[in-house]
Structure 1
Amino acid sequence: MRLNSGQLPWEATLPNPPVYKTLDGDITCDCLIVGGGMGGAMTAYRLSLSGASTVLIDKRAVASGSSHANTGLLQIANDKSLTACINTFGEANGVLFYKLCQQALGKILELPSLLDIDPQIIPRSSLLYASTPEDVPMLRQEHETLTAHGFDSEFWDTDKIGAHYSFSKPAALYSRGDAETNPFRTVHSLIDKAHSGGVRIYEHTRARHYEYSADGVICYTDHGRIFAKNVIFAMGYETQEMKKDRGAELINTYAIKTRPLASMPKWHEQSLLWETARPYLYFRTTPDGCIIAGGKDEQLTGPDRRDVRVLSQCQLLLKEVEALFPEINGVEAEFSWGAVFGSTRDGLPYMGPHPEYPHCYFIEGYGGNGTVYSMIAADLLADTLAGRSRPELELFSLTRSAKPSPAPAVQPT
């Protein structure tokens, strides 16, 4: 699957990334991670701290799949509101999901002090604004739900929004505790640290097929075999080529990064911006004085068709930036790209075991919060492999039905 189209911005920010050899020969390990994107990187780093014998392989270079197209917004709030999660899954499960995201973001914010390559993770606030006046009651309800369960949320009216930004909207929720990141640097910094902690990394190593036995899994590559007690598949959207998840949906999405601005527009705390419309637009700034904008989602097509659509869709994104911030009218896009994006029908990611794949676990961080989901999965699966029970995995079960499951009798730790 060709995941990305157009010109991506991140490689220039790490001109000499670490490189790793291709597997040549047979090896053994406790855990094999298949995929060198955000999910695989988070898990490799987490397992390196536990001392487990771990191998990570990627058929491409590290961080060159979906993580290469990631726009780097990290939030506690999800595409599905807390109110909607409670309505769908029940109060205990809905709140648990948001608390797990909050906990994961806290751990992500600790990473810069723990890694050797700066991942450029920067704390940010967020503004979720009403796209239309009809969305205001929904925003007010969400504000009440968030505050009732201990999450940071302020309800802003039109005047307050206009006092802090170049634009005004019918209403908005302002919250703290979120972040932005450079996803390319983050993946490389995590894998570099995992490698220094003993994880064996192999790039350009394609898994051809697998044999499952009572004792583990044998992964056959082009030039060797990997004998693993357990396998974690962290292949992102390409997982759908291996097994179809009935609740997963793939689309095309688009993004731009502007040229550096002479000065930032009126943009309170350079917060992350997004809206209530679905599909939604989102905006952030970068440390080098640019703006990233994303959205304009559309039906999944072949990569050739997406290649053609990049220019027109990204021109529309540029107009959206100018509409919010008229003082930078005439700003140009330096990078424009499109990519495959995945979500789930019920709004939760997939992570955990699958009955048809013994000794295997999956990380499918589908949705707009994939980096945060990757941190959740890394923690839950690392504990599971170490023999510690994590009933929270039931919430993200790959075999879950549309009917809400009973709440796990746990609190996030």
Structure 2
Amino acid sequence: MKLHTGKYCWNKTMATVPRYPALEEDISCDCLVIGGGVGGALCAYLLSEQGIITVLAERGDIASGSTLVNTGILQYANDKTLTSLIHTFGEEKAVHVYRLCRDALIRLKEINRGLGPDLPLQERNSLYLASTDEDLAMLRDEFENLIKYGFNVAWWDEDEIGSKFPFRKPGAIYTQGDAEINPFAFVHSLLKRSEPLSLQIFEHTPVTGWEFRSDGVVCRSGRCTIKAKHVVFATGYEAQILKKEPGASLTGTYVVVTEPADHFNDWHERCLIWESARPYLYMRTTPDGRIMAGGLDEALSGGKLKEGREIHKSREILSMVHSMFPEKAELQAAYSWGAVFGETRDGLPYIGTHPDYPHCFFLEGYGGNGTVCSMLAAEMITDVLSGKHRNDMDLFALTRSTKPSP
């Protein structure tokens, strides 16, 4: 599956990109993690931190799949609002999901602080805009629920928004404690930190088959085998090729990155920006002073990305950025891309086991807060493989009901 097309920026941010060998001999381990993106790197790091002998196998280059085109917006808020999740799952489960995501974001920040001087994660607040007057009541209800359950948010009216930005919207939720990240640098920094631990990393090592046995799984890669007690599939959206979840869907999404701006005096705290419209426009800034904006999600044409489509879509997104920030109207696109994006009907990621894959776990951090959900999934899987019981993993089961949610 072709996961992206276009011109990318994150791989230009590292002077030297670490490279890893391909597998050339039969090996064994406690756990094999398949996939070298954010989810796989986090899971491999946590497992090896617990002393679990772990192998990470990536079919191409590390961080070259969806991680390369991840916009790096880190929020505990879901594409489905807390209010919507309450309607679907009830208050207790919905609030638990939001708190789990908040805690996962805190854990990401903690991990980042241990990665050395060039930290790829920056704390940011976020602005969730009511796109229209019709969305105002919905957003106000969401604010009241977030406040009720202890989330650090504030309500801004139209005048408050207008005093801090060159645009006006009917209302907004301003959230403290979110973050932005360079996902490419984060993965490489995380794996570098994992080197002294019980982790082996292999690139250009596609896992093309497996044999399930009573004591684990024997996986094939070329002429070599990897014998593992457990396997974690952290293959992102390509997991849908192995076994299709009825509640999962893949779409196309688009991103544009501008030339560097002269200043951000008109952008309050350089916060993350998103909106209530679906599909929504989202924006962030980058450490080198660019604007990264994305959205305009659409169905995949013929089930795949259309080459060159990102050029047209990037012009639309850039026009929307210019309309919101008139002083930035001279900024042109430096990078743009299209990417496959996965989401679920009920708004929750898929985490856990599958009846057709014994001794295996799946880590599918689908949705707009996918990196946060990948952190949550990595923690849950590590807990289970360390002998802890996680009742709440059932919330994210691959076999859960696909009943449509509000």
Q: TM-score, normalised by structure 1?
A: 0.96
Q: Please tell me whether the aligned partners of residues 305 and 338 of structure 2 are also in contact (alpha carbons under 8 angstroms).
A: no
Match of 1:208 in 2: 208
C-alpha distance in structure 2 between counterparts of 1:151 and 1:371, whole Å? 20
C-alpha distance in structure 1 between counterparts of 2:118 and 2:201, whole Å? 20
Shift of 1:302: 5.5
C-alpha distance in structure 2 between counterparts of 1:17 and 1:111, whole Å? 20
Q: Does 1:361 align with 2:361?
A: yes
Residue 104 of structure 1 aligns to a residue in which SS? helix
Spell out the pairing of 1:298-377 with structure 2 (5 A cutoff).
298-301=298-301, 306-377=306-377
C-alpha distance in structure 1 between counterparts of 2:179 and 2:403, whole Å? 33
Match of 2:69 in 1: 69
Shift of 1:155: 1.1
C-alpha distance in structure 2 between counterparts of 1:217 and 1:173, whole Å? 47
Q: Please tell me whether the aligned partners of residues 57 and 202 of structure 1 are also in contact (alpha carbons under 8 angstroms).
A: yes
Residue 338 of structure 1 aligns to a residue in which SS? strand
Letter in 1 for 2:158: T
Q: Please tell me whether the aligned partners of residues 167 and 325 of structure 1 are also in contact (alpha carbons under 8 angstroms).
A: yes
Q: Please tell me whether the aligned partners of residues 305 and 340 of structure 2 are also in contact (alpha carbons under 8 angstroms).
A: no
C-alpha distance in structure 1 between counterparts of 2:59 and 2:93, whole Å? 36
Match of 2:196 in 1: 196
Q: Does 1:106 align with 2:99?
A: no
In the TM superposition, what whole-angstrom CA distance separates every residue of 1:91-136 from its partner, at most 9, and x where no partner exists?
1110010000100111111223212473420000000001110000
Aligned-pair identity (%): 50
Q: Please tell me whether the aligned partners of residues 72 and 183 of structure 1 are also in contact (alpha carbons under 8 angstroms).
A: yes
Spell out the pairing of 1:18-29 with structure 2 (5 A cutoff).
18-29=18-29
Q: 1:403 to 1:298 in 2, by over 3 A?
A: closer
C-alpha distance in structure 2 between counterparts of 1:396 and 1:112, whole Å? 26
Q: Does 1:150 align with 2:150?
A: yes
Match of 1:290 in 2: 290
Shift of 1:329: 1.0
Shift of 1:188: 0.9
Residue 339 of structure 2 aligns to a residue in which SS? strand
Letter in 1 for 2:175: S
Q: Please tell me whether the aligned partners of residues 305 and 339 of structure 2 are also in contact (alpha carbons under 8 angstroms).
A: no
* Length, aligned pairs only: 404
Shift of 1:387: 1.0
In structure 2, runs of 5+ residues without a counterpart are none
Letter in 2 for 1:87: H
Q: Please tell me whether the aligned partners of residues 257 and 335 of structure 2 are also in contact (alpha carbons under 8 angstroms).
A: yes
C-alpha distance in structure 1 between counterparts of 2:381 and 2:350, whole Å? 12
Spell out the pairing of 1:4-403 with structure 2 (5 A cutoff).
4-116=4-116, 118-301=118-301, 306-402=306-402
Shift of 1:196: 2.6
Q: Please tell me whether the aligned partners of residues 63 and 187 of structure 1 are also in contact (alpha carbons under 8 angstroms).
A: yes
C-alpha distance in structure 2 between counterparts of 1:381 and 1:372, whole Å? 14
Q: 1:56 to 1:130 in 2, by over 3 A?
A: same
Letter in 2 for 1:67: T
Shift of 1:403: 5.4
Residue 33 of structure 1 aligns to a residue in which SS? strand
Residue 306 of structure 2 aligns to a residue in which SS? helix
In the TM superposition, what whole-angstrom CA distance separates every residue of 1:31-80 from its partner, at most 9, and x where no partner exists?
00000001001101111210100000010100000000000000011100
C-alpha distance in structure 2 between counterparts of 1:339 and 1:326, whole Å? 28
Q: 1:305 to 1:386 in 2, by over 3 A?
A: closer
Q: Please tell me whether the aligned partners of residues 248 and 345 of structure 2 are also in contact (alpha carbons under 8 angstroms).
A: yes
Q: Please tell me whether the aligned partners of residues 265 and 327 of structure 1 are also in contact (alpha carbons under 8 angstroms).
A: no
Letter in 1 for 2:4: N
Q: Please tell me whether the aligned partners of residues 234 and 362 of structure 1 are also in contact (alpha carbons under 8 angstroms).
A: yes
Segment of structure 1 superposing worse, 106-115 or 247-256: 106-115
In structure 1, runs of 5+ residues without a counterpart are 405-413
Q: Please tell me whether the aligned partners of residues 23 and 223 of structure 1 are also in contact (alpha carbons under 8 angstroms).
A: no
Q: TM-score, normalised by structure 2?
A: 0.97
